[in-house]
Every structure is written in C-alpha cells, then in structure tokens.
C-alpha cells in the first residue's frame, strides 16, 4: 500500500492547491465573508428557547483585491459560523449548535463513512483534512468596480454549507459572487438541523435573493444562478417551477432521481418524498422555468445511461444532460468527500476500492470545469457554448501495478444538448395532419405526453377539419386516443358523444355524455348536454 499512499498524497497536494494550478486558471483573488440576517417574516420555533425570528446564515465568496493575508482552511471556515455572545446571545447559542452540526456532517460525509468505527486513523485523516488550504481570504476588499452574476448553492440532505467549498471558490475566481446557506429546518435548534423541507428551502432562497444579495457590493441582481446537490437539486428544480422566479441558469449535481423511471417516481414508495414534490412541480409548473439547465449524474450500476425522465418534463427548457461513464459515488460531487479520498486510501486493502476512489478523485476537477464553462456561457456573452456534443476528458492515467490494472485508462463526462420543444401552432397542426396523416399526429402527441402529461397540443383544429370532411369514424377513433390520456376532459367527452351519436351508436353516446356531465363545470354546457341525454331517453 506504500506506493498507493504516496500516489494519493500527491493527488491530495495537487488538489489542495487547486487555486494555483487548476484549469481553467483563476482570474480573480477571492474574498470571503459570513453574514447572518434575521428573516422577520418567519418564526423559528424550538422547545428549549421558544420562538425567535428565523436566523439565516450566508457564506459569501466574491472577486476581491489581492491580499497577503493567510487564506482560510476547512477548520477556520467552520469557525466563521460562530457569533460572539456580546453581539447576540440568542444567535450565539444557535450558531454554536449549527457549527457543531455542520462539523459532524462534514466528518460523516468526508471521513466517517469510510470507517466502520471511528479510530485513530480516522481521527488523523480528519485532522489533516481540516488543515486543507483554500484560496479565499476573509474580509478581503471587493474589487472597486465590476458587476458579477450571483450563484446560490443549496447543499444536500444532511449536508452542510461548506460541502462544496472548492467549487464555490473556483466560481468566485471566475468572476461570480457565490452564496451558500445552511437551509436548516424551521423547527428545532440542535437535534434536527439538516434541510429536509422543500417549502422551507424555497422561502430561504427568496430571502437570500431579496435581503442578502442586494447588500453585496458588485452583485448583479439581474443575473442569478442556482445550483444544488441531491436534495439541494430537488429544491432547485422546485424553485424553477415557481411563477415569476428569477433564475437564469441552474446546475443539478446528482439529483438521484435521474436513475429512476417516472413510474417508479410516481409509485407509493417515492410519491410522498421530495421526488414526488419535484414531479408535481415540474409537471404543473414547467412553463415557469426560464433558466438554462445543466443536469449531471453518473451511470446506473449496470453501466447504462440514466433516462433523465423527470428532468425532461422541462421540455420547453434548454437542457444540458451530462453523465460520467461510470457509476460515480454520490459523495464524489462534493469537495469535502473528494479531498478526503487520498487521506482514507491507505485504509483500503482492496485494489478495486482504491481504483474507485482514484477515479472519483479525478472526476471532480472535470466537474468543476464543466460547471464553470456552463455558467460562463449563460452569463458572459463572449463565452462560446462548448457543451453540446462535448467530451470533457479526465486526464489520461494508465493503471499501475498497485491498482491491479483495473483503473480505466481514460474517462469522459458526456454532455447531451436537448433544445426546447415547441408545441405546434394551429397551421402547423393542420399541415401535419394534411401531409402526414393521423398516425404521425398521434405519434407526436404521444411524444409530448411522455415528456409531460400537461403538455397539451391544440388538436381542436384537426377535430374541426375532420368534421368538415365528414370523417366521423376517423374523428371518433382519434377522440378515443385523446381520451386515453385525458379521460376527464369534458370537452373531448362531449365531442366523442356527438361523434358516436352521428354514427348511430346511441348507447356509447349516452355513456360519453354522462361522463362529460361528471366533469363539466360550464353551466350552459351542462344544460346542453343534459338536453342531449333527455332526447336519447325518449
């Protein structure tokens, strides 16, 4: 294991110094500040202290003036959560509890899950990890001029606001103001800090945009990005579906539902989870998404590419769907886990496990490169879009003897571009029907329904054309096809009844009229349908 340990030590040193050596090169020194604000519109309840205004913490990275001060480490970053008692005694107690929770989360997601029991080796690795040097300098003066886009980062379930600090810093170096927050729950102070309620996260995003962002020097409030990992991506997608949201670009990091089908997501197992909430939000609110979206995952365990079925509900959105060509570890989308891999590698004796850690370690710089390039395209007009049909290669690394020859020679993050789909206009629908027939029209309709059940094409001009051409049988069959997707649409049910009546199928016509009455909310139409039923009963 000695050669493997030395290899990982080299990787750790190279990655820890990413600010100087990573591609693309940084363009700005990085400043940092921690900002606490109270959201006076919401209370924060707990059994021990009673109710308070809701405290919201924002860690802010920004392009800054160059300073010779010592940059922050993981350990000093976590100290910035604390608030001194003399400033606010209540907030001081809360901040200390949040810091304890955040450190425990950091310990579990970086080092802890590699060890069955926390032992001296785990403690040594954790101590070393906390010394990891970064680039940001606390309190560095912001640049005297400039206008920089703002990106919000939402951590995953059980995560902490520093879980992806390396990515946040790299984006700040590229010319962005980046904000990470704890998104803690609405109730309880010490025992239940992790974010877990989408509604709560949406309100925190609103507060950060309305109360925190305007106070930051050089922040361009007209260019807003959002990114999140796992549950943070769930909250992000739900926010995109809100009316009048201001998000221009969104990045989803391994949201976890990419690997599931819509049928699985809508099953009772997941229906009541955040997956179900995202499904409802994107199904009903896809029109509200104005952002360009980058969605990145790995492959399924069998090596197949995810279907991205839920994300594709945003069919009117510019989508970039990315996948690493291997089942990347969920934690490998986080800096805290990737920086820990070289430190825990000596704990593993199976060369396959070592190869997995190594492969995931090398994937992270590729991830940050892609995310940076995506935001540059969305927010910097002179940045060409290089993501469609891209192949972001991991650096070539031949397998070594200590790896058992199992480490792949190269890998890539594949990106697929899915441009927005537009529902055909009236004339297009009629031309499609006239030139290609009903089968092609049904195939197109079926495709839109697969993407989103609320994606309704305006087929009434075709139904009217069928009536004008006296194509009653064809119209009846087409209505039955449409009703297979929309069985409660009273307008379609009424037309199906009329068509069956025209064909002399009075029994079927009456059934359709009755079903139309069950769902019709138009008083005049109900009177007319009841009259049809009365005439059939005579």
pLDDT in tens, 408-418: 333 478 888 88
**Which residues share a beta bridge with 296?**
253, 322
- Return all residues near 143 (Cβ < 8 A) that are at least 6 apart: 28, 63, 64, 65, 218
* Sign of the torsion angle spanned by Cα atoms 49, 55, 61, 65: negative
Rounded to whole angstroms, the Cα distance separating 154 from 149 reads 17
Tell me the helix, strand and coil percentages in the chain, rounded to 5.
50, 15, 35
pLDDT in tens, 195-218: 668 988 999 999 999 999 999 999
- Return all residues near 214 (Cβ < 8 A) that are at least 6 apart: 221
Rounded to whole angstroms, the Cα distance separating 482 from 490 reads 12
Which three-class secondary structure state does DSSP give residue 37?
Answer: strand
Domain ranges of the chain: 2-418, 426-537
- Of 155, 420, 183, 382, the C-alpha closest to 293 is 420
Rounded to whole angstroms, the Cα distance separating 112 from 347 reads 12
Q: Can you give the pLDDT at residue 46?
A: 62
Q: Can you give the pLDDT at residue 202?
A: 95
Q: Please state the pTM of the whole predicted model.
A: 0.80
Where is 39: in which H helix or E strand?
strand 30-46
The CATH H-level (homologous superfamily) assignment of domain 426-537 is: Tetratricopeptide repeat domain (1.25.40.10)
- Return all residues near 348 (Cβ < 8 A) that are at least 6 apart: 114, 354, 357
**Residue ranges of the chain whose pLDDT lies below 70:** 1-26, 45-51, 185-196, 382-411, 423-427
Average pLDDT, the chain: 85
The CATH class of the 2-418 domain is: alpha beta
Which three-class secondary structure state does DSSP give residue 200?
Answer: helix
Rounded to whole angstroms, the Cα distance separating 327 from 188 reads 36
Give the pairing of strands 412-418 and 177-181. unpaired
């Amino acid at each position: 294991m000695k050669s493997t340990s030395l290899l990982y030590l080299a990787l750790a040193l190279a990655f820890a110094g990413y600010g100087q050596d990573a591609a693309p090169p940084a363009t700005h020194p990085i400043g940092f500040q921690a900002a606490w604000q109270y959201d006076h519109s919401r209370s924060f309840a707990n059994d021990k202290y009673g109710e308070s205004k809701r405290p919201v913490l924002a860690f802010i990275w920004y392009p800054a003036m160059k300073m010779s001060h010592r940059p922050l480490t993981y350990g000093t970053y976590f100290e910035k959560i604390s608030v001194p008692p003399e400033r606010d005694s209540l907030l001081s107690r809360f901040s200390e509890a949040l810091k304890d929770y955040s450190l425990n989360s950091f310990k579990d997601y970086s080092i802890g899950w590699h060890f069955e029991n926390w032992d001296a080796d785990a403690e040594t690795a954790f101590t070393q990890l906390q010394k990891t040097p970064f680039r940001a300098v606390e309190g560095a003066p912001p640049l005297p001029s400039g206008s920089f886009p703002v990106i919000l980062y939402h951590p995953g379930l059980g995560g902490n606001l520093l879980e992806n600090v390396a990515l946040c810093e790299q984006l700040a170096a590229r010319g962005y103001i980046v904000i990470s927050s704890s998104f803690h729950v609405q109730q309880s102070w010490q025992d239940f800090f992790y974010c877990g309620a989408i509604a709560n996260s949406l309100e925190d995003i609103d507060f950060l945009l309305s109360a925190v962002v305007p106070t930051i020097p050089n922040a361009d409030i007209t260019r807003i990005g959002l990114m999140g990992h796992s549950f943070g991506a769930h909250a992000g997608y739900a926010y995109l579906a809100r009316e009048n949201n201001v998000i221009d670009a969104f990045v989803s990091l391994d949201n976890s539902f990419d690997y599931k089908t819509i049928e699985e997501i809508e099953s009772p197992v997941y229906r009541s989870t955040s997956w179900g909430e995202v499904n409802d939000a994107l199904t009903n609110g896809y029109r509200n998404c104005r952002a360009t979206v980058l969605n990145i995952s790995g492959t399924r365990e069998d090596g197949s590419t995810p279907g991205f079925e839920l994300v594709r509900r945003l069919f009117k959105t510019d989508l970039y769907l990315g996948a690493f060509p291997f089942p990347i570890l969920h934690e490998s989308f986080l800096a805290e886990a990737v920086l820990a891999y070289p430190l825990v590698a000596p704990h593993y004796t199976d060369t396959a496990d070592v190869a997995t850690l190594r492969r995931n370690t090398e994937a992270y710089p590729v991830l940050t490169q892609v995310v940076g390039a995506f935001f540059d395209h969305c927010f910097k007009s002179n940045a060409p879009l290089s993501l469609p049909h891209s192949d972001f290669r991991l650096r070539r690394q031949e397998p070594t003897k200590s790896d058992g020859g199992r480490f792949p020679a190269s890998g890539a993050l594949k990106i697929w571009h899915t441009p927005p789909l537009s529902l055909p206009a009236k004339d297009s629908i009629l031309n499609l029907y006239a030139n290609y027939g009903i089968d092609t029209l049904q195939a197109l309709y079926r495709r839109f329904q697969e993407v989103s059940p609320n994606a309704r094409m305006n087929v009434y001009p075709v139904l009217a054309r069928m009536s004008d051409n006296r194509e009653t049988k064809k119209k009846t069959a087409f209505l039955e096809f449409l009703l297979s997707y929309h069985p409660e649409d009273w307008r379609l049910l009424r037309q199906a009844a009329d068509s069956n009546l025209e064909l002399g199928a009075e029994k079927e016509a009456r059934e359709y009229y009755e079903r139309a009455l069950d769902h019709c909310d138009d008083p005049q139409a109900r009177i007319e349908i009841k009259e049809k039923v009365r005439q059939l009963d005579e």
